[in-house]
Structure 1
Amino acid sequence: MIPFNKPYFTGNESRYIEEAVKSGKISGNGNFTKRCQHFFEQEFGFNKCLLTTSCTDALEMAAILLDIQLGDEVIMPSYTFVSTANAFVLRGAKIIFADSKNTYPGFDEHSLERLITPRTKAIVPVHYAGVACNMDLIMDLAKKYDLFVVEDAAQAIGAYYTDRNGIQKALGSIGHLAAFSFHETKNIISGEGGMLVINDDNFVERAEIIWEKGTNREQFFRGEINKYEWVDIGSSFLPSEIVAAFLWAQLENIESIQQKRLQLWNTYNEELKDWASQNEIRLPFIPEYASNNAHMFYLVCKSLEQRSRLIEFLRENEILAVFHYVSLHSSEYYRKNNEYFQLSNSDIYTERLVRLPFFFELEINKVIDVLKKFH
């Protein structure tokens, strides 16, 4: 069976984990944590980075930092993972769902302004498949209505956005805050793991406090205060040094990992063009302002029936492909307390999108050969 995903190990993960263990410091915020955070700040121009135990935790930290209160409204795409919404619902927010574009699953930026009300506090663009949302339009709206922007960049490590002035910016460096994932299905992994990026200096000091369980321990360790104590709400958001050591081995090889993934993505895209056209299947779309970090390769089938048949056909040939999110506006939890409404493009991706196997050591020609037999 060719799996949907297989974690890639560079070879140094075990060595660095052993190094962390032998150092006597395996709780969070040690040497490997600081190395990783510094790497991201230098490599991608992020203002301040804090590793977290997951992208979910990073989003929950963002919701706390924005002081989300009961009744505040947060705009986000419906076609996203549940963590995007949960982080803000836990603080009492009302989620306002935006539709996807008809060209790709990222949300339709042109539909956002009509969703803004006096209670709107934040916009959460999700860079689906590592493909940038139109951040110029989003940041313009945020400035016009005095809103915060939290980039859900879970899938977007190493991806870029070219702004209206032709300046290329790393995804996660544009919004006030951003959240990344290093889950084993992502390009760069640590099993579980994530990162909060703080681009607005106004949030840096409090972010450290929330990260350290609501204490000012970071300031104490830097010698800025003579004792540390409980000063705010917070939680145990920082990962262990073992997780950070694993991540560091990945970061040392980020360039080769990204190059190989892009090679695989381009092979899928080139080899499946004619087959997809013949079967009325759409391949991924990359807007001109977005780069491609080769996070995933997906297909958009012409119907739910076709997708079901395709997934079953691949399974019969020992290849595991999966469909992705059920749009959150149509989910059981959301519909308990809200009336059903239609988001036509989001609903299409719910019913028709399928993700092909995609990982560093993929025998891609086997998958392509099988796919070409499906009609």
Structure 2
Amino acid sequence: MRTDGTSPTGTPPIPLHRPYLAGAELSYISQAITSGCIRGDGPFTRRCAALLEQKFGIAKVLMTPSCTAALELAAMLCDLGPGDEVILPSYTFVSTANAVVRLGAKPVFVEIRADTLNLDESRIEAALTPRTRAIFPVHYGGISCEMGQIMELANAHGLKVVEDAAQAVDATYRGRALGSIGHLGAYSFHETKNLVSGEGGALCCNAPELIERAEILRDKGTNRAKFFRGEVDKYTWVDVGSSAIPSEIVCAFLYAQLEAMDAIKARRHAIDIRYREGLSDLEAAGRLRLPAIPEGCDSPFHTVYLMLESGAIRDALMAYLRERGVMATFHFVPLHASPMGRRLGYREGDLPLTEDLAARLLRLPTFFDLSEVEQSRVIDLVASFFAQRSPTSKRRGLSLACVDL
């Protein structure tokens, strides 16, 4: 990359992501400001929640300032405390584990599947103990975990299920929206997601018995929501809660995005198809593997990643692309191998499959207005990288990774 930000050929750099404006954002923000209600839980907040409830069949959606806030509320609703354990993958963003640890509970990290990089449902039961209270499956890249088996196992053992659906808004499992299957779910509208509001999130309440307390915890531990509905003549402090209501301005921006949800998904699907077509020869030759979408799962096409043959090849390709102005990057550093993971008693080597897959994954630029010219440039550069490398003498069997569980 040159000092002026261009590639060696003088072409503009291609970022990993670029926020998309649907068109009505400024108008809706202006309406929110002139309405005199910008504090939160105003008309646009209610519209966003109602749209998500109706489209995805969720009993109650509570808008939050972030997915982190939604996960923290969900953990509180699970009544987690010191000595409790929660099953989750190590290959996730820190917020999934933070929601557990901040209440004094212990994250029990379980291996992921090689095909989807999701929590391996076949390994959960062996990780259960009398202290297990919940399962936090993470839908990596928006592709569903095996929710049928997870819910069956949870119900058999009396466990709560919290879906971390940060990347999975508008994705489904066997016809059901992700975020609507577990007892609770969490969405993200961070600027790196498909539908954005800068920061923002939502708590999905699918267990009716949790809704009233969720409202209380979200609003500083008060029953103010009941007061606004006229159900009590005054509101007061009734539980230990937090301030987890987003600004009305944020929801005004988000509502414009939610209205364009179908168009955004269709565009990202087209980008996904073009990557798959352009890189199909390399995948057939075993040089890389593209994301798998299991039968019965519908993707929001959030992420396009390459699973490479080794960490060394991943790092070399990442450097090659970046030198030519393409911001391709790794994703999560497994939490069990992090400094905080070590403080919790985990060590590198505890989850060898997770560590191996994380070291070989490379994300490609994927955003709404990625042009055909830009996408062709990415595809051509990946192809030229491999054209300069002779095939390895011993394949890792990338095409078989989906069954190497």
Change (3 A) 1:112 1:191: same
Residue 329 (str. 1) matches residue 340 (str. 2): no
* 3-state SS of 1:307 partner: helix
- In 2, the alpha carbon distance for the partners of 1:279 and 1:106 equals 22
What one-letter code is carried by the residue in structure 2 that aligns with 1:226? Answer: D
Identity fraction in percent = 51
Question: In structure 2, what is the equivalent of residue 149 of structure 1?
Answer: 161
Question: In structure 1, what is the equivalent of residue 367 of structure 2?
Answer: 359
Question: In structure 2, what is the equivalent of residue 374 of structure 1?
Answer: 385
Asked whether the equivalents of residues 87 and 109 of structure 2 are also in contact (C-alpha less than 8 Å), the reply is: yes
Unaligned runs of 5+ in 1: 163-167
Residue 278 (str. 1) matches residue 304 (str. 2): no
- In 1, the alpha carbon distance for the partners of 2:156 and 2:54 equals 31
Residue 130 (str. 1) matches residue 130 (str. 2): no
* 3-state SS of 1:245 partner: helix
Residue 243 (str. 1) matches residue 250 (str. 2): yes
Residue 115 (str. 1) matches residue 122 (str. 2): no
Q: Could you tell me how far 1:367 is from its partner in structure 2?
A: 1.3
Q: Could you tell me how far 1:279 is from its partner in structure 2?
A: 5.7
- In 2, the alpha carbon distance for the partners of 1:345 and 1:358 equals 26
- In 1, the alpha carbon distance for the partners of 2:295 and 2:21 equals 33
Unaligned runs of 5+ in 2: 1-12, 387-405
- In 2, the alpha carbon distance for the partners of 1:169 and 1:127 equals 14
- In 1, the alpha carbon distance for the partners of 2:104 and 2:364 equals 36
Q: Deviations over 1:265-315 (max 9, x none)?
A: 111011101123436211111111211110110011111110111011101
* 3-state SS of 2:385 partner: coil
* 3-state SS of 2:289 partner: coil
Q: Deviations over 1:172-225 (max 9, x none)?
A: 111000000000111111000000000001100000011111111110000000
Q: Deviations over 1:31-80 (max 9, x none)?
A: 00000000001011011000000000000000111110101000001111
Matches within 5 A, 1:1-375: 1-162=13-174, 168-278=175-285, 280-340=287-347, 341-363=349-371, 364-375=375-386
Does 270-279 or 211-220 show the bigger shift? 270-279
- In 1, the alpha carbon distance for the partners of 2:288 and 2:350 equals 23
- In 2, the alpha carbon distance for the partners of 1:174 and 1:337 equals 30
What one-letter code is carried by the residue in structure 2 that aligns with 1:354? Answer: L
- In 2, the alpha carbon distance for the partners of 1:303 and 1:91 equals 38
Asked whether the equivalents of residues 183 and 191 of structure 1 are also in contact (C-alpha less than 8 Å), the reply is: yes
Computing the radius of gyration over CA atoms, which structure comes out larger, 1 or 2?
Answer: 2
Asked whether the equivalents of residues 134 and 289 of structure 1 are also in contact (C-alpha less than 8 Å), the reply is: no
Q: Could you tell me how far 1:342 is from its partner in structure 2?
A: 2.2
- Report the number of matched residues: 370
Q: Could you tell me how far 1:334 is from its partner in structure 2?
A: 1.2
Q: Could you tell me how far 1:90 is from its partner in structure 2?
A: 0.3
* 3-state SS of 2:173 partner: strand
Asked whether the equivalents of residues 114 and 357 of structure 2 are also in contact (C-alpha less than 8 Å), the reply is: no
Please tell me the root mean square deviation across aligned C-alpha atoms, in Å.
0.9
- In 2, the alpha carbon distance for the partners of 1:329 and 1:233 equals 30
Q: Could you tell me how far 1:361 is from its partner in structure 2?
A: 0.7
What one-letter code is carried by the residue in structure 2 that aligns with 1:82? Answer: V
- In 1, the alpha carbon distance for the partners of 2:383 and 2:283 equals 9
Asked whether the equivalents of residues 112 and 120 of structure 2 are also in contact (C-alpha less than 8 Å), the reply is: yes
What one-letter code is carried by the residue in structure 2 that aligns with 1:338? Answer: G
* 3-state SS of 1:26 partner: coil
Q: Could you tell me how far 1:344 is from its partner in structure 2?
A: 2.1
Tell me the TM-score normalized by structure 1.
Answer: 0.97
Q: Deviations over 1:157-178 (max 9, x none)?
A: 110001xxxxx11111110000
4+ residue runs over 4 A deviation: none
* 3-state SS of 1:204 partner: helix
Tell me the TM-score normalized by structure 2.
Answer: 0.90
Does 253-262 or 344-353 show the bigger shift? 344-353
What one-letter code is carried by the residue in structure 1 that aligns with 2:353? Answer: N
Asked whether the equivalents of residues 74 and 122 of structure 1 are also in contact (C-alpha less than 8 Å), the reply is: yes
* 3-state SS of 2:298 partner: coil
